[in-house]
């Protein structure tokens, strides 16, 4: 890609990426930490009036915010890593940051897995393991750690590269949840409420669970976006490359857990 064109596209797509991301994640937090508790206070008649008017409007910006965040993120990956100044093998600040390694088949396999992992995630949470939250969470974390390990040691990804590709993996899972799990379920839930019927409990559970997953993934995702721009945390903690990011994922999940607890205690007047 021409350097001038790349320099022009990068700030434009970053701008749109941030706008769309704020819209999407802001509504995600509203749904999980505000609206859910508010909806629980409404009686059937109130829900029948409020939900069909509120939710389609909110979900419109929610799902399109997700789509545009994901699309502009892919464009930025192409501009910055896959063809740009941070691209594979082009400069010192490249995909294999400070490694000096060559791009291999494994490098491309791990890029592909960044986007294929969503199907592993979806399968995992449809499996019997999903019935045990503690076990499935441990399995999911180990899969994330394994993916990061392969990015570093097989794909030869450097610090900024494996950070942003783990983030892209989370973002792809989140956008998938919005369009293929949450939105289809919510359409049926809203229609049922509008008709004065009880929504399907399985659909309510599915939409709620995948929305909760998105909330947990969003906080580590934001870290990966920030650390695409810096190598301040690139040092090896306990001589283990990538351990910092794994600790951030755990800390991020704990922050979200505490915010869920806090949101349940906030009351209206």
Average pLDDT over residues 18-46: 97
Tell me if 185 sits within 8 A of 203, measured CB to CB. Answer: yes
253 — pLDDT class (breaks 50, 70, 90): very high
- Is residue 69 domain-resident? yes
Asked if residue 268 is part of any domain, the answer here is no
Confidence of residue 80 (pLDDT cuts 50, 70, 90): confident
63 pLDDT exceeds 80? yes
Residue 121 is assigned to a structural domain of this protein: yes
Contacts of 207 (CB under 8 A, 6+ apart): 181, 182, 185, 186, 189
Q: Does residue 90 sit within a domain?
A: yes
Name the domain count of the chain: 1
Residue with tokens 């749109």: 16
pLDDT by residue (tens digit) across 168-202? 999 999 999 999 999 999 999 999 999 999 999 99
Kindly state whether residue 97 falls inside one of the protein's structural domains. yes
The Cα–Cα gap between 90 and 109 comes to 19
**Mean pLDDT value of segment 146-152:** 96
Residues 57-86 as b/e (b if ≥16 CB within 10 A, e otherwise) read: eebeebbebbebbbebbbbbbbbbbeebbb
CA 71 to chain centre: 13
Q: Is the pLDDT of residue 166 over 50?
A: yes
pLDDT, tens only, 84-133 = 555 444 444 445 444 455 678 999 999 999 999 999 999 999 999 999 99
Domain membership of residue 57 as a residue range: 3-263
- C-alpha distances (whole Å) from 39 to each of 33, 49, 63 are 11, 12, 20
The answer to whether residue 142 scores a pLDDT higher than 90 is yes
Question: What is the per-residue pLDDT for 1?
Answer: 63
Q: Is residue 269 part of a domain?
A: no
Please tell me the distance from the alpha carbon of residue 236 to that of residue 4, in angstroms, as a whole number: 35
Average pLDDT, the chain: 91
């Amino acid at each position: 890609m021409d350097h001038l064109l790349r320099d022009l596209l990068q700030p434009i797509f970053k701008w749109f990426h941030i706008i769309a991301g704020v819209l999407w994640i802001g509504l995600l937090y509203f749904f999980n930490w505000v609206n859910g508790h508010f909806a629980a206070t409404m009686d059937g008649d109130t829900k029948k009036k409020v939900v069909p008017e509120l939710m389609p409007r909110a979900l419109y910006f929610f799902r399109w915010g997700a789509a545009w965040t994901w699309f502009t993120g892919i464009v930025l990956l192409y501009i910055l890593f896959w063809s740009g100044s941070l691209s594979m093998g082009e400069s010192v600040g490249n995909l294999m940051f400070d490694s000096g390694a060559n791009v291999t088949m494994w490098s491309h396999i791990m890029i592909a897995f960044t986007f294929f992992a969503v199907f592993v995630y979806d399968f995992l949470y449809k499996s019997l393991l999903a019935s045990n939250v503690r076990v499935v969470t441990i399995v999911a974390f180990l899969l994330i750690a394994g993916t990061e390990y392969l990015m570093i040691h097989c794909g030869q990804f450097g610090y900024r590269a494996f950070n942003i590709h783990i983030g892209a993996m989370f973002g792809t899972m989140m956008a998938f949840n919005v369009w293929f799990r949450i939105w289809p379920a919510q359409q049926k839930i809203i229609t049922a409420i509008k008709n004065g019927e009880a929504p399907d409990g399985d659909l309510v559970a599915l939409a709620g669970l995948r929305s909760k997953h998105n909330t947990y993934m969003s906080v580590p995702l934001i870290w990966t976006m920030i650390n695409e721009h810096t190598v301040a945390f690139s040092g090896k903690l306990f001589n283990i490359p990538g351990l910092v990011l794994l600790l951030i994922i755990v800390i991020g999940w704990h922050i979200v857990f505490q915010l869920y607890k806090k949101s349940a205690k906030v009351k209206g007047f």
